[in-house]
Structure 1
Amino acid sequence: MFSTRLQPQDSMEKELSNSSGLTLGESPLHASSPRCSLFRRSKHSSDSVSRRSVTPVDRRPARHLTDKSSSSSSGSRRLSLPHTITERHGGQELWVKAPVVSGSLEKRGFRWRKKWKLRYVELDGRQLAYYEDSGAFSATTATASGTRRNSKPKRKVMLTADAELEDVDETTLSIKPALEEKPWMLRARDAATKRRWLVALSDCIDILVWLRHYKLGAVLGVGGNGVVQKLEDERDGTVYAVKVLDVAKFRNREQVVAEVEILRNITNNIKHPNLIKIHKVYEEHQKVYIIQEMCTGGELYDRIVQRGKYSETDAADIMRQLVSALQALHAHNILHLDIKPENILFSSEDPDSKILLTDFGLARMINGKQNPLDQGKTMAGTIGYMAPEVISSHVYSEAADVFSAGVILFILLVGYPPFFGDSEVEVLLKIARGDFTFDPRDWAHVSGSAKELVARMLEVRVQDRITIDEVLTHPWITRDVGNRDDSAEDRDLSASMMSKLQRFNIDRKSQNMGSFMASLLLDDNEADFQALVDEKTVEMMIRQLCVEGHSRIPLDGAHVIAKGLGLSPYIDEKSFVQFLDQDRDGFISASDFCAGVRALRNHHQSFAAMVFSAMQKMHEEKSDPYEITEKAVLTREHFSVAFTLLECPEPLVEVFFKYIDDEEEKQQDKWSVNEAEFAILFTQFSFLGMLFLRTAKDNVMSMVKSHSVDGMPRISESSFSSA
């Protein structure tokens, strides 16, 4: 079981070696990235840490800087500042934030004249920059100026663990960002301002020293909200999992803060063996790194399929652990709200290993058991697992977690979910109505006690649904022999159940791969895209899709990728799969997949041709069969039909047709485009291709709702306001 390790304060090096954060270690994942990676592989030995300051620095819990303001000919006087980062509360602080400070300072030039000029200086984590500033001295602020964010700095550097900080006089300091950089001489308007900068810069260096011994490893998983990777402490070999969240991709920072606060609450206050614990959280540059216990046993359904055999007794043991963890959360007024297979992991590969409930990205706090959280606006959860009251009324209570656990139990017993349909809307409607059945062909081998528990957990009405405490005392969970109706509970579940579970698991993996692909297509940050398009990660996903565990998929089996992406039926699936086979060898490998994603992201002409044909097909189906239309072009009517059938967000429709109207006005003729002209238009309006990939279309709709349209060249927030 993971636990936070603490060390005495008499040695900073000891404290740093046991504080788990991230390293700045360079991994293969980030090696090709042009920007400075948060993780870089440390090439320094542990005794090189002392090089961080201009004068020999004592590695004790107080920070020592060279103070020249009161120095005599015999040497410099030491100035001690209290640590505020790495030794806060003796190193027990779980959430470490990189310092952010900005304001007007005088900076001495690098040239021979050494002229002082007023600059706007900004420290954001390890990034130090300065801008033109012709105004008077301004107070140093806690956050960087938004106006400076939109302007180009005159100079920008990245601090390293080898940075050297010097206290020159009452208002002046010097910072040498890295070994190869020249020192920056900075002068503040007063001693208090200088002290704030000294503390911030010294905190930053402390953090960099603290992080340097950790190495980022392979990608373990990719989700809609972040990437999970392996993290190793190179000093003692301890391995963690780190979840990397990009704050910029959330609608607001409070969502990330809520997840971290709940994890911190669990780690500090809830002692339960089936709840994941965090080791540290580090925040810098719009990225939050959640370091937590490493689970090596795999996901719930993967483990069951690998075992090959499985009984009701096994299912009851898993449910007991899951529901017990939920009971502990509810006792502390925490709702998980995202119970699904991906979030239930085995701690190790040991046959008797425990499960761990993970991922609290949608978890919420409630004020008390009698006061369920009522957002009234949004649904939180995963389609197929969320409770009826969440769908119909957006009401959240402990009962919602019970319902989701009931869905898990249903799948554990028969190998497929209780609610399914041809569309997400159909699934939601079935859940809201409680529309599911116990097919006698699949449930004949399941005990009556198990079936009765499932039915009570999946009750539509909250007041009729079994409570979390009642689930734990149910005879099927407690294995009360006197209440067993037969010996079925001790027999292995049927081979057909295992086969269905395997198919369901593959479908789920294909959807996850489709979500991963869709998120890459709309990622406007090139550095993030390059970092995520990693062949090792994709190969891992492909192996999970193949029953035999192969590293490539034959074209006749590649429909699972198209299915996961939600490929529109109007797009020829065979052509799309062949498009993904970039090397034309009859298989889709990790390199093919990555190249295909790049081609889709760059609006490749082949995909544009597929969309062109699809839009013609859609128009033909809606048109009068006797009407003669020119097949070589697309008109305004073609786009109108496609946007309607694909449920394109209205703001995008209005912006697109405004463009067409402008073109018609220029040409003074009815607007149309041939295939070559459409290929150009396809690159200008990137959402056109995404509409034909359901998973990507969902992301487009989310972007429209949040007005996050950076990835759409012709669409801006001003376009929304004018539309």
Structure 2
Amino acid sequence: MGCGTSKVLPEPPNDVHLDLVKKVEPYTGYKTDIYKHFIKGDGDAIKSAIPSPPCHTNPYVEQQEPRKNRVAKYRAKFDPRVTAKYDIKALIGRGSFSRVVRVEHKATKQPYAIKLIETKYREGREVCESELCVLRRVRHTNIIQLIEVFETQERVYMVMELATGGELFDRIIAKGSFTERDATRVLQMVLDGVKYLHTLGITHRDLKPENLLYYHPGMDSKIMITDFGLASARKKGDDCLMKTTCGTPEYIAPEILIRKPYTNSVDMWALGVISYILLSGTMPFEDDNRTRLYRQILKGKYSYSGEPWPSVSNLAKDFIDHLLTVDPSDRMTALQALKHPWVVSMAASSSMKNLHRSISQNLLKRASSRCQSTKSAQSTRSSRSTKSNKSRRVRERELRELNLRYQQQYNG
């Protein structure tokens, strides 16, 4: 649901300071990126998480060294313990403080993913500690599995299962058919994983379609929950309430926005958003203006208008309604969601109408509009810079007033 091959989080708004933990850092130039020359793939259909920066070639300058040498230099940057055991194959993703590469175990030829995190930066260290704390504790068929860890003073190498089946919605678009029954199969797997996490006192805090991957390309592939960089793991005896404002804007629960202490029910709100998209290809809450978006979320304001909603069963809508509930105490838990009649019956009483065409059209339309808005934002960013400080103060005041109003109603 991104732009082209991009799988990045939406950038935090310039005009609203909500202290979102996850954001995309701007590309800071070739000299600072030690991974710039790494091979993007070796014939496979694996895509890079972020497109390569444009290459400007000067015909009067000596051409770059052969590709083989560049790859060799890149591999040399890895800890020898890693390269002794794994062949480095391709860069498949990158974040603010991390790179994800596809590797192959030298002895077994089994493919894996290695997430390399730069821990010399405080933010990278915090994300690494959070993710490791969770992944070392979990073992579930629908959660990405940590295989082993290599640590140095400045980097951590996390060897993990490699999910090659693609993102949830990429598969839906490519598929010729998608019914409510298909949706319940997907949700059952995700809910099983979330229920397991919540039983262990772990809250994912960034559930969204981009973090739900198919294990392999086959029709019988399981879905796996990935990316635990924002996850919170409660230790025994700890208070179950969390306070950090984090997540991806369109999926953030109301209680996080008003800065109330919250529980793992924020994951269930995110699953409500995912369920809505799964059945329609559209977002329940969407606005280019963050203040208006947050106002929609705080009110729990969404509708079932437009295609394919007239063809979707009332039982499916009831399932969503019990997740997109503003009051977290009224929201379904993962166990309750698994016991909902729509899920238990695998949508048996629902229409078996193929929703694929409407869902695919809506997903592709949204992806296209997001690409256009991203390009537009980039082209106008410099012209807005002189007004940004004043605008930010105004937006911050508006958001504070909005939060205060809803906190009063919430505590009412």
Pairing partner for 2:275 from 396, 409, 426: 409
Q: Counterpart in 2 of 1:398?
A: 264
> How many angstroms apart in 2 are the aligned matches of 1:319 and 1:340?
12
Q: Which has the larger radius of gyration?
A: 1
Q: 1:501 to 1:343 in 2, by over 3 A?
A: same
1:289 match: 157
Change in Cα spacing, 1:366 to 1:261, as seen in structure 2 (3 Å) is: closer
The question of whether the paired residues in 2 share the 8 Å contact of 1:333 and 1:369 is answered with no
Give runs of aligned pairs for residues 383-462 of structure 1, distance below 5 A.
383-439=249-305, 441-462=307-328
Q: Matches of residues 366-381 of structure 1 in structure 2 within 5 Å?
A: 366-367=234-235, 371-375=239-243, 378-381=244-247
Q: What SS class does the counterpart of residue 384 from structure 1 fall into?
A: helix
- Matching residue within 100, 108, 124 for 1:236: 108
Q: Does 1:305 align with 2:194?
A: no
Please give the alpha-carbon distance, in whole angstroms, between the structure 1 residues aligned to 2:109 and 2:295.
50
2:197 alignment partner, one of 319, 329, 334: 329
Shift of 1:395: 2.6
Q: Which residue of 2 aligns with 1:136?
A: none
In the alignment, is residue 28 of structure 1 matched against residue 39 of structure 2? yes
Q: Partner of 2:337 in structure 1?
A: 471
What's the TM-score, normalizing by structure 1? 0.43
1:562 and 2:375 aligned? yes
Matched AA of 1:462? P
1:485–1:237: structure 2 CA closer, same or farther, 3 Å change rule? closer
Equivalent position amino acid for 2:160 in 1: Q
Q: Residue type matched to 1:28 in 2?
A: I
Task: Tell me which residue corresponds to 1:495.
Answer: 357
Q: Are 1:357 and 2:225 counterparts?
A: yes
Post-superposition offset of 1:323: 0.6
Q: CA separation in 1, counterparts of 2:194 and 2:322?
A: 17
Residue 208 of structure 1 corresponds to which residue in structure 2?
80
The alpha-carbon deviation at position 505 of structure 1 amounts to 4.2
Q: CA deviation at 1:479?
A: 1.5
1:647 Cα deviation from its structure 2 partner:
6.6
Q: Deviations over 1:192-251 (max 9, x none)?
A: xxxxxxxxxxxxxxx835642422222222334522221112333111011222224443
The structure with the greater share of residues assigned to strand is 1
- CA deviations 1:548-582 (Å, max 9, x no partner) are xxxxxxxxxxx46515xx325x46xxxxxxxxxxx
| Partner residue, 1:316 | 184
Find the counterpart in structure 1 of residue 390 from structure 2.
Answer: 644
Alignment deviations for residues 273-316 of structure 1 (CA, whole Å, 9 cap, x no partner): 10110111222242222110011100011111011321111100
Aligned-pair RMSD on alpha carbons?
A: 3.2
Alignment partner, residue 608 of structure 1:
none
Q: Give the unaligned 5+ runs of structure 1.
A: 1-25, 42-125, 127-206, 511-558, 572-610, 616-638, 649-723
Counterpart of 1:668?
none
Instruction: Structure 2: give runs of 5+ residues left out of the alignment.
Output: 1-36, 41-66, 395-412
Q: Partner of 1:291: helix, strand, or coil?
A: strand
Shift of 1:497: 2.4
Instruction: Please name the residue that 1:226 is paired with.
Output: 98
1:245 aligns to 2:106 (yes or no): no
Q: Is residue 300–residue 324 contact of structure 2 (8 Å, CA) maintained in 1? A: yes
C-alpha separation in 2, matches of 1:370 and 1:251: 23
Contact (CA 8 Å) 2:39, 2:71: kept in 1 or not? Answer: no
* 1:395 alignment partner, SS class: coil
Measure the CA separation in 1 of the matches of 2:259 and 2:236: 19
SS at match of 1:288: strand
Identity %: 29
What is the distance in 1 between the residues matched to 2:388 and 2:337?
49
State how far apart, in whole Å, the 2-side matches of 1:32 and 1:216 are.
Answer: 14
Separation in 1, partners of 2:239, 2:314: 34
The count of corresponding residues between Structure 1 and Structure 2 is 334
8 Å CA contact retained: 2:117, 2:157? yes
Q: TM-score, normalised by structure 2?
A: 0.72
SS in 1 for 2:378: coil
The whole-number CA distance in structure 1 between the counterparts of 2:300 and 2:237 is 25
- Compared with structure 1, are the counterparts of its residues 393 and 233 closer, same or farther at alpha carbon in structure 2 (3 Å cutoff)? same
Q: CA deviation at 1:411?
A: 0.1
Cα deviation, residue 423, structure 1: 1.9
Q: Map Cα deviations across residues 473-492 of structure 1 (whole Å, 9 max, x no partner).
A: 111111167xx554x1x221
Structure 1 373/225 Cα, relative in aligned 2: closer, same or farther at 3 Å?
Answer: farther
